[in-house]
Chains A and B, each alone.
Chain A
Amino acid sequence: MARRSPRSLRSLRKAVLGVAGLLGFLLTWQLIPTLGIISPEYLPYATETLARLADDLRDLAFWRAVGQTMTSWAIGLTIASVAAIALGTVIGLIPFLRRATHTTVEFLRPIPSVALIPLAVLVYGIQMQAALVIIVFASFWQVFVQVLYGVADVDAVARDTARSFGLSRSSRVVNLVLPTALPYLMTGLRLAAAVALILAITAEMVIGNPGVGRLIALSGSAADWVGLYALVIVTGLLGLTINLLFRVIERRSLAWHQSVRGEEVL
């Protein structure tokens, strides 16, 4: 009964409504300063902000800042993921290490990474390394914990079967542990990518290493409010792009998995 209309019509309706929602939001934004609810000095017109955004997109300095932010994001995420996958696999596969590290992990994990900003500034000063410390610390736990769960989730029957068929340790890891842990790993990577962007921009705002975050802090202190709003939109677009990218990677690499295939059937 719910699915009488064809699929394409439903997704068309969804797209139209979604675009209407975005336009409605922009219209509301435009109307608030026009009607004088908030002074246009503090909340610039939507049109003005979007015009500034278009200007920014033609500015080389702006793209350099985006490049700097994305560089520290990519380096931080890579270091964190590689370390987390290596450590998570080893610790997850050896029960003794799993038990022995449990309390330490549970204590270190909830520490907010921004608490380390002062320390990173002292040790590295206003450089990219200071930002990297914070990015790596924050995104490491996201991946590590997921890998730990994933490696532990191997089906007992499958494991015993593999063993009695005489699979070597390395081929057990490749053919059994890896496919089991992959969905968990992908979730971890997606979360870590989002967290790494948050921390990359936060670090630039607070520490002052070059990037989009520093541009935001600068336009804030220079009272360039239009520029500030435009940059906030830019960070949102960056976040959205990263989310979409990692969702695509997740779908591609898990195309064989029940959770992805299941959605297609429904």
Chain B
Amino acid sequence: MTLYTGTVVTVRPKSRVWRSIGENALYALGLPFLLLVVWGVWSTISPQKFFPGPIEIIQAFVDTWIGPQFFVDVVPSLARLGLGIVLSIAIGITAGTVIGSIRWLRELLEPTLEFFRAIPPPVLIPVVVLLLGITDATKVIVIVSGAIWPILLNTIEGVRATDAVMTETARSFGITRWQRLRYLVLPAASPQIMAGVRQGLSVALILMVISEMFSSSSGLGYRITYFQRNYLIAEMWSGILLLGLIGVLLATIFGIVERRVLSWYHGIKEVERA
């Protein structure tokens, strides 16, 4: 299984390269295009009250979100989301590293932390609102209070599982605690940490929307609910589309970061598989 051989790469002739790019583009865009066409045709043949056609939705999207509305509703939401994510990652990784490297502390805290992770995050919204009132900071704290648990617990687990031989080798070579952390523990834990961050991101996005649906007078979640309550169907769909785009954007950014941080790890995996 662990034969260290790579696959043989042969250079293709140029004309074939162009053909394969065209083919890839066809594969990538074919189905989405087909689905949009079917949806468009279907909605013109039999107009549904709650399912407007794609052209109508895009029209509503341009009218609703491009312009001053973008700065009133979208930018504050995204700022809170970004701040919440950054805080969750920073606190989660710092606390996780400390807890993970001290054994008695880890065994003391792990069951309690597992319990907090098991609480469905939106349930915490009324509690945080009760304790802090409704402010911008509350919404950020709501996001942190839900998104931090997978990051924290995965960091603890990753730090704990650092290879014992490597730790002892590093120690006997007289590498300082700080350097061990920087060059051994954190890299070794990074696949676990990134998996936690991925879960944290989707929780953060859910909490951003829900906290605005609950108690807010601005923001994306509020605006979409407002459209729904006033039967502005195409506008509501445009909001759903915007949230989808934000989700895709987050996933893309995460994918790029992950590939950078874990390039060594994916490399090892590939070698092991070949």
Contact = CB atoms under 8 A, between A and B. Distances in A.
A109 B247 CA distance: 9
Contact of A115 (B112, B131, B209): B209
Interface residues of A, number: 61
Nearest to A200: B120
Contacts of B125: 205
B95 interface: no
B123 A201 contact: yes
Contact of A102 (B27, B115, B127): B27
A240 B130 CA distance: 25
Contact of A13 (B107, B109, B239): B107
A229 interface: yes
Interface string B28-56: 11111001000000000000001000000
A216 B118 CA distance: 16
A111 interface: yes
A83 B109 CA distance: 39
Given A21-B110, A107-B248, A114-B209, A121 B120 contact: no
Interface stretch (B68-76, B172-180, B185-193, B222-230): B222-230
Interface in A83-117: 99-104, 106-117
Nearest to A229: B127
B124 interface: yes
Contact of B213 (A42, A206, A242): A206
B248 A115 contact: no
Interface residues of B, number: 55
Given A100-B30, A239-B118, A225 B130 contact: yes
A235 B127 CA distance: 13
A246 to B, nearest CB: 12
Interface SS of A by simple majority:
helix
B78 interface: no
A118 B209 CA distance: 11
A42 B206 contact: no
B115 A115 contact: no
Nearest to B228: A118
A116 B240 contact: yes
Contacts of B244: 107-108, 110-112, 115
B108 A24 contact: yes
Given A20-B108, A21-B108, A22-B111, A114 B210 contact: yes
B112 A25 contact: yes
Given A103-B32, A112-B202, A202-B210, A216 B108 contact: no
B213 A117 contact: yes
A92 to B, nearest CB: 16
Interface in B92-151: 104, 107-112, 114-127, 130-131
A108 B29 CA distance: 14
B86 interface: no
B233 interface: yes
B240 A119 contact: yes
Given A38-B131, A206-B214, A110 B248 contact: yes
Interface in A5-21: 13-14, 17-21
Given A104-B35, A107-B32, A205 B251 contact: no
A110 B35 contact: no
A17 B210 contact: no
B87 interface: no
Interface string A236-256: 111110110000000000000
- Residue from B104, B112, B239 whose CB has the most chain A CB atoms within 10 Å: B112
Contact of B119 (A108, A114, A236): A236
B123 A216 contact: yes
Contacts of A235: 119-120, 123
A218 to B, nearest CB: 10
Contacts of B104: 17
Interface string B231-274: 00100110110011001101100000000000000000000000
Nearest to A110: B247
Nearest to B113: A21
B205 interface: yes
Nearest to B205: A112
A43 interface: yes
A174 B104 CA distance: 46
B107 A14 contact: yes
Query: Nearest 4 CB-CB pairs, A to B?
Result: A239-B118, A110-B247, A118-B228, A115-B243
25 contacts: A18-B108, A21-B110, A103-B32, A104-B35, A106-B251, A107-B32, A107-B244, A110-B202, A112-B209, A114-B209, A116-B240, A118-B224, A118-B236, A119-B50, A119-B228, A122-B233, A197-B120, A202-B206, A205-B125, A206-B213, A220-B126, A232-B124, A235-B123, A240-B118, A243-B118
Given A38-B131, A198-B121, 5 more contacts: A100-B31, A106-B248, A118-B227, A201-B122, A228-B127
